[in-house]
Amino acid sequence: MLKMLYLIHVLGTLVWVGGMFFAHMVLRPVAVARLEPPQRLPFWVDIFGRFFPWVWVSVIALILSGQAMVVMMGGMAAVGGHVHGMLAIGYLMAIIYAYIYFVPYARLKRAVAAADWPAGGAAQNRIRQLVATNLTLGLLNVALVFLLPLVM
Protein backbone atom coordinates (compact mmCIF):
# COMPACT_ATOMS: atom_id res chain seq x y z
CA MET A 1 0.00 0.00 0.00
CA LEU A 2 2.85 2.39 0.86
CA LYS A 3 4.40 1.85 -2.57
CA MET A 4 1.08 2.60 -4.28
CA LEU A 5 0.70 5.82 -2.28
CA TYR A 6 4.27 6.79 -3.15
CA LEU A 7 3.56 6.13 -6.84
CA ILE A 8 0.44 8.33 -6.72
CA HIS A 9 2.50 11.02 -4.98
CA VAL A 10 5.28 10.89 -7.56
CA LEU A 11 2.83 10.94 -10.48
CA GLY A 12 1.02 13.95 -9.00
CA THR A 13 4.35 15.72 -8.64
CA LEU A 14 5.39 14.89 -12.19
CA VAL A 15 2.16 16.22 -13.66
CA TRP A 16 2.13 19.44 -11.62
CA VAL A 17 5.81 20.38 -11.42
CA GLY A 18 6.63 18.99 -14.86
CA GLY A 19 3.71 20.88 -16.36
CA MET A 20 4.83 24.10 -14.72
CA PHE A 21 8.39 23.59 -15.95
CA PHE A 22 7.23 22.99 -19.52
CA ALA A 23 4.80 25.90 -19.52
CA HIS A 24 7.16 28.38 -17.88
CA MET A 25 10.48 27.44 -19.44
CA VAL A 26 9.42 26.24 -22.91
CA LEU A 27 5.90 27.23 -23.92
CA ARG A 28 5.83 30.78 -22.50
CA PRO A 29 8.96 32.06 -24.28
CA VAL A 30 7.74 30.69 -27.61
CA ALA A 31 4.25 32.14 -27.11
CA VAL A 32 5.71 35.57 -26.26
CA ALA A 33 8.02 35.48 -29.28
CA ARG A 34 5.42 34.30 -31.79
CA LEU A 35 2.04 35.61 -30.70
CA GLU A 36 0.66 39.09 -30.14
CA PRO A 37 -1.55 39.63 -27.05
CA PRO A 38 -4.85 39.22 -28.97
CA GLN A 39 -3.70 35.72 -29.95
CA ARG A 40 -1.47 34.89 -26.98
CA LEU A 41 -3.89 35.61 -24.13
CA PRO A 42 -6.76 33.44 -25.47
CA PHE A 43 -4.12 30.78 -26.14
CA TRP A 44 -3.16 30.87 -22.43
CA VAL A 45 -6.80 30.71 -21.36
CA ASP A 46 -7.14 27.55 -23.46
CA ILE A 47 -3.85 26.09 -22.15
CA PHE A 48 -4.80 26.74 -18.54
CA GLY A 49 -8.30 25.42 -19.19
CA ARG A 50 -6.77 22.06 -20.09
CA PHE A 51 -3.89 22.06 -17.57
CA PHE A 52 -5.60 23.35 -14.43
CA PRO A 53 -8.05 20.43 -14.03
CA TRP A 54 -5.00 18.14 -14.01
CA VAL A 55 -3.40 20.34 -11.39
CA TRP A 56 -6.50 20.05 -9.20
CA VAL A 57 -6.34 16.26 -9.51
CA SER A 58 -2.62 16.37 -8.72
CA VAL A 59 -3.03 18.66 -5.70
CA ILE A 60 -5.75 16.44 -4.24
CA ALA A 61 -3.75 13.28 -4.95
CA LEU A 62 -0.61 14.79 -3.40
CA ILE A 63 -2.37 15.92 -0.25
CA LEU A 64 -4.25 12.64 0.26
CA SER A 65 -1.32 10.37 -0.57
CA GLY A 66 1.12 12.46 1.48
CA GLN A 67 -1.10 12.50 4.55
CA ALA A 68 -1.81 8.76 4.18
CA MET A 69 1.92 7.99 3.98
CA VAL A 70 2.60 10.06 7.10
CA VAL A 71 -0.13 8.14 8.95
CA MET A 72 1.31 4.82 7.76
CA MET A 73 4.77 5.88 8.98
CA GLY A 74 3.45 6.58 12.46
CA GLY A 75 2.26 10.18 12.23
CA MET A 76 3.97 13.55 12.25
CA ALA A 77 5.92 12.78 15.43
CA ALA A 78 7.51 9.75 13.76
CA VAL A 79 8.66 11.35 10.50
CA GLY A 80 11.79 13.42 10.00
CA GLY A 81 12.04 17.16 9.76
CA HIS A 82 12.41 16.95 6.00
CA VAL A 83 8.89 15.51 5.81
CA HIS A 84 7.57 18.41 7.87
CA GLY A 85 9.35 20.79 5.49
CA MET A 86 7.99 19.01 2.43
CA LEU A 87 4.46 19.15 3.81
CA ALA A 88 4.77 22.86 4.59
CA ILE A 89 6.08 23.60 1.10
CA GLY A 90 3.39 21.41 -0.48
CA TYR A 91 0.58 23.15 1.37
CA LEU A 92 2.04 26.55 0.49
CA MET A 93 2.15 25.49 -3.16
CA ALA A 94 -1.48 24.35 -2.99
CA ILE A 95 -2.52 27.71 -1.52
CA ILE A 96 -0.61 29.59 -4.21
CA TYR A 97 -2.20 27.42 -6.90
CA ALA A 98 -5.71 28.00 -5.50
CA TYR A 99 -5.01 31.74 -5.53
CA ILE A 100 -3.78 31.54 -9.15
CA TYR A 101 -6.92 29.68 -10.16
CA PHE A 102 -9.48 31.82 -8.35
CA VAL A 103 -7.94 35.28 -8.76
CA PRO A 104 -5.55 36.01 -11.66
CA TYR A 105 -6.82 33.17 -13.87
CA ALA A 106 -10.41 34.38 -13.37
CA ARG A 107 -9.23 37.91 -14.22
CA LEU A 108 -7.46 36.61 -17.33
CA LYS A 109 -10.61 34.84 -18.53
CA ARG A 110 -12.74 37.95 -17.97
CA ALA A 111 -10.19 40.18 -19.71
CA VAL A 112 -9.96 37.87 -22.73
CA ALA A 113 -13.76 37.67 -22.98
CA ALA A 114 -13.85 41.49 -23.01
CA ALA A 115 -10.81 41.78 -25.34
CA ASP A 116 -9.15 43.91 -22.64
CA TRP A 117 -5.55 43.06 -23.55
CA PRO A 118 -3.83 45.29 -20.95
CA ALA A 119 -5.85 43.73 -18.11
CA GLY A 120 -5.28 40.28 -19.58
CA GLY A 121 -1.57 40.93 -19.83
CA ALA A 122 -1.45 42.03 -16.20
CA ALA A 123 -3.32 38.91 -15.08
CA GLN A 124 -1.10 36.68 -17.21
CA ASN A 125 2.01 38.34 -15.78
CA ARG A 126 0.77 37.68 -12.23
CA ILE A 127 0.15 34.05 -13.13
CA ARG A 128 3.68 33.86 -14.58
CA GLN A 129 5.20 35.22 -11.37
CA LEU A 130 3.25 32.83 -9.17
CA VAL A 131 3.98 29.85 -11.40
CA ALA A 132 7.69 30.72 -11.19
CA THR A 133 7.37 30.75 -7.40
CA ASN A 134 5.52 27.43 -7.33
CA LEU A 135 7.96 25.88 -9.79
CA THR A 136 10.86 26.89 -7.54
CA LEU A 137 9.08 25.50 -4.47
CA GLY A 138 8.20 22.29 -6.33
CA LEU A 139 11.79 21.71 -7.45
CA LEU A 140 12.98 22.44 -3.90
CA ASN A 141 10.53 19.85 -2.58
CA VAL A 142 11.82 17.25 -5.03
CA ALA A 143 15.37 18.06 -3.93
CA LEU A 144 14.36 17.56 -0.27
CA VAL A 145 13.30 14.00 -1.07
CA PHE A 146 16.77 13.15 -2.27
CA LEU A 147 19.06 15.36 -0.19
CA LEU A 148 17.77 15.86 3.33
CA PRO A 149 17.24 12.23 4.37
CA LEU A 150 20.96 11.69 3.64
CA VAL A 151 22.01 14.47 6.02
CA MET A 152 19.62 13.77 8.87
- 49-88 pLDDT, tens per residue? 999 999 999 999 999 999 999 999 999 999 988 899 999 9
Give pLDDT tens digits for 87-132. Answer: 999 999 999 999 999 999 999 999 999 999 999 999 999 999 999 9
What mean pLDDT comes out for the span 17-29? Answer: 98
Predicted confidence at residue 86, as pLDDT, reads 93
- Higher per-residue pLDDT: 35 or 149: 35
**Measured between alpha carbons, how far is residue 123 from residues 104, 113, 119, 132 in Å?**
5, 13, 6, 14
Predicted confidence at residue 150, as pLDDT, reads 54
In SS3 terms, the chain reads as CHHHHHHHHHHHHHHHHHHHHHHHHHHHHHHHHHCCHHHHHHHHHHHHHHHHHHHHHHHHHHHHHHHHHHHHCCCCCCCCHHHHHHHHHHHHHHHHHHHHHHCHHHHHHHHHHCCCHHHHHHHHHHHHHHHHHHHHHHHHHHHHHHHHHHHC
CA–CA distance, 70 with 99 (Å, rounded to integer): 26
Nearest to 21 by CA among 103, 142, 121: 142
